[in-house]
Structure 1
Amino acid sequence: MGHYDALLILSFGGPEGPDDVMPFLENVVRGRGVPRKRLEEVAEHYLGFGGISPINQQNRDLVEALAPTLDVPVYWGNRNWHPYGEDTVRRMREDGVRRAAVFATSAFAGYSSCRQYYEDIARISLPDGPELVKLPHYGDRPGFVEAMADRVREALARLGRDDARLVFTAHSIPLAHARGAYESELLRSAELVNRALGRGGEWDLVWQSRSGPPQVPWLEPDVCDHLREVKADSVVLVPIGFVSDHMEVVYDLDTEARQVAADIGLPMERAGTVGTHPAFVRMVGELMAGPEPVPCSVETCPQV
């Protein structure tokens, strides 16, 4: 990893108190024409958890886990809330960083999950450095797969049902944005996790956290609709599309989906996200030590 002298973890960001919630959400939807009423509805999800998203603390934990495994300093910046990426890059420049690997906390192809991070890097880069190099997608890397498989094993143990049906979940996106490799990469990753568990049989990939006008088609089925129709005696939800517990995980799965399962009498557990699993932490170093990343094509991660 000698060709990098720092690592930047670049993430989505999240509020850390009630007063942060609306300004954070306004940052997220700026320029998209989202109605105020919709923002107020989403704000209630955050306020139900004290206005605190778990993602920031999980990023701090990831920084702490990575630091002793690397021989370069580890920084962290966000797209939508403090610490903002641009502030972190200024600090990196002051610290003398010349060339940094950028690890996005999103494992798969797509606009918001990949292309937008390239746009972030362009926006926060400074004329006098440091150079920022985005690391590639990693949903099929052995470290990610191993970590996700372990999280599923833990959920199966809590449930006490080795034969529970695995229902993998990821953030839904509008069909108009679903060109490219987003769905195919998720399908491959889910298959690899299922294989790592030594399981045969069927599993499902479903979607969650859709927003926007109801007349705009998004990837389906929704996880809650799927739970109502699934032919299974028990289910483990596997949030494969997330590397840490975003609000979409703790609200849409742990609250809404869990309530649906309880209402219909379906035993359900939610697998953890990869978080700071040792295999996942090790994978980041492997990505840094690997070949020089080649930016993915617009066909893989389309612009919208």
Structure 2
Amino acid sequence: MSDSTRRETKPPAASGVHLEAGAVVPSATAATREGPEHTAMPQAYDAILLSGFGGPEGQDDVLPFLRNVTRGRGIPDERLEEVAHHYRHFDGVSPINQQNRELLRALRAALAAEGIDLPVYWGNRNWAPYLDEALAEAAADGIRTMIAIPTSAYSSYSSCRQYREDWADALEAVGRQQGLQIDAPLKIDKVRQYFSHPGFIRPFVDGLRDALAAARAAGHADDAIEVLFSTHSIPTEDAAHSGGETFAGVDGGGYVAQHLAVAREVIAKTGPGISWQLVFQSQSGPPTQPWLEPDINDTIGALEGRTAVIVVPLGFVSDHMEVMWDLDTEARETAEEHDLWFARTPTPGIHPAFVSALVDLVRERIAGIPVERRLNETEIGPWFDVCRGGCCANPRLGFKPAIAGLQP
């Protein structure tokens, strides 16, 4: 789509979701329509849907993009401009779209190398190319069953359920498009949350091992190094619902439990005696709304007896604005203010182990690999193929149609 015809708004919210007669899971394939936690039924797919968050690629894109991200919350442009300056500092360009283009190429190459002959379509939730554009292209190409890969590894409203809602929005939008004749509705399954897959964990292990070596080479003893595993803060109410009933009553819900499980695995493989913490960043809600803490900058400022800090962006699949600004800019500046040596390890990006993991997640579902044979490296997991009812709900926004999971 050319810049002159590119839309500035994402598809409207879905008013309903297609349900086949007797189906439990909306818009599901035969393998998942009855809603198993894990399926061992082989399923033939026509294509893969790589789903990203999206990001602006120029100064004129910034405010329309932020309006899409915050749609339905009534946030005025004046407040959005407070966030927009992060993007404007980088000429209005988020790296996330280019990161996804690189991942798209790497994933296609890895699939071909494994003999998996499936096309990969790419659509974003909040900026071009939008999800409904990707689905319209797929439908026009004769695609009817897809396996979706969200570029987010953990359970929470923003990292799982909201993807499922936006897929529902996109499916309804495609169904409304004039001139597009679809003889059967598109069906979309999703891969499991992949926080526990060894291919997701490996890039963090490699990055932390290298950073620890660099800190030691710079003269910092192990007992003077602090490792901060950082992820996006979310409202505590959302955290409590993340992961559903599995984590009912657990402080921070599945979102925190899953991050801690991965952090423990990474530290065990790199430096079991190194001090570490799980910290949070990028809080964006009103001061009256509780969000997960501690904040990364507050934590850095309060460190005692440390001469070096290593930040591991554990919650992120690739570099984007929250990594470039909140970590590479603000957290680094905070460390410098406190005379701390600073390093930030890489995100998975297109690390070969991560790309191979995504191929493996697709292979699991094509072959119907039973859960006990799936790759997993934490005490939590492998996670569900079909999200449980109410999992990762957002009580403030109320029920919204979503696919790839049990209703509601």
TM norm structure 2: 0.71
Deviates more, 1:67-76 or 1:194-203: 194-203
**In 2, Cα distance between equivalents of 1:212 and 1:301:** 18
One-letter amino acid of the structure 2 residue matched with residue 144 of structure 1: F
Instruction: Name whichever of 1-10 and 27-36 sits farther off.
Output: 1-10
Q: CA deviation at 1:297?
A: 1.9
1:260 & 1:299 partners in 2: Cα distance? 39
Aligned mates of 1:299, 1:229 — CA distance in 2:
38
- Give the whole-Å Cα distance in 2 for the aligned partners of 1:116 and 1:87: 18
Q: Could you list the runs of 4 or more consecutive aligned residues of structure 1 that deviate by over 6 angstroms after TM superposition? A: none
Name the SS for the 1:123 alignment partner: helix
- The partner residue of 1:171 within 228, 232, 235 is 232
* Percent identity over paired residues: 47
Query: 1:7 is paired with a residue of what secondary structure?
Result: strand
CA distance in 2 between partners of 1:152 and 1:167 (Å): 11
State the distance in 1 between where 2:50 and 2:66 align.
21
Once the two structures are superposed, residues 158-192 of structure 1 have per-residue CA deviations (whole angstroms, 9 ceiling, x without a partner) of 44357332100111011121113111111111111
Work out whether 1:114 is the aligned partner of 2:160: yes
Question: Alpha-carbon deviation of 1:109?
Answer: 0.2
Query: What is aligned with 1:103?
Result: 149
Q: Does 1:211 align with 2:288?
A: no
Letter in 2 for 1:86: D
Alignment partner, residue 61 of structure 1: 102
| Partner-residue secondary structure (3-state), 1:236 | strand
- 1:92 is displaced (CA, Å) by 0.8
Name the CA distance, whole Å, in 1 between partners of 2:264 and 2:389. Answer: 25
* Counterpart position of 1:301: 392
TM-score w.r.t. length of structure 1: 0.95
The residue correspondences of 1:51-90 to structure 2 (distance < 5 A) are 51-70=92-111, 71=116, 72-90=118-136
Largest Rg, 1 or 2:
2
Moved more, 203-212 or 27-36: 27-36
Tell me the equivalent position of 1:6: 47
1:283 equivalent among 339, 349, 357: 357
Q: What is the CA deviation profile of residues 216-255 of structure 1, one whole-angstrom value per residue up to 9, with x for unaligned ones? A: 1111110000000123221110111010111011000111
Partners of 2:152 and 2:279 in 1: CA distance: 18
Separation in 2, partners of 1:190, 1:90:
39
Among candidates 84, 100, 107, match of residue 43 of structure 1 = 84
Q: Distance in 2 between matches of 1:246 and 1:138?
A: 19
Structure 2, unaligned runs of 5 or more: 1-41, 176-183, 243-253, 369-383, 396-408
CA contact (8 A) 2:203 2:346 kept: no
Residues 254 and 294 of structure 1: CA distance in aligned 2, closer, same or farther (over 3 Å): same
The more displaced of 151-160 and 131-140 is: 151-160
Query: Which amino acid is 2:102 matched to?
Result: D
| Aligned residue number for residue 24 of structure 1 | 65
Deviation at 1:153, TM superposition (A): 2.3
Query: Are 1:168 and 1:239, in contact at CA under 8 Å, matched by a contact in 2?
Result: yes
Q: How many residues in Structure 1 have an aligned counterpart in Structure 2?
A: 304
Q: In the TM superposition, what is the alpha-carbon distance from 1:135 to its structure 2 partner?
A: 0.9
Residue 328 of structure 2: aligned partner: 254
Name the stretch that deviates more: 180-189 or 278-287: 180-189
Given the superposition, is the C-alpha separation of residues 162 and 3 from structure 1 closer, same or farther in structure 2, using an over 3 Å criterion?
farther
Matched, 1:265 2:339: yes
The equivalent position to 1:244 in structure 2, one of 318, 323, 345, is 318
Q: Name structure 1 gaps, 5 residues minimum.
A: none
Spell out, residue by residue over 1:34-90, the C-alpha distance to the aligned partner (whole angstroms, 9 max, x if none). 233221111111000010000000000000111111121111100100000000011
Q: Between Structure 1 and Structure 2, which shows a larger proportion of helix residues? A: 1
Q: Which of 287-296 and 5-14 deviates more?
A: 287-296
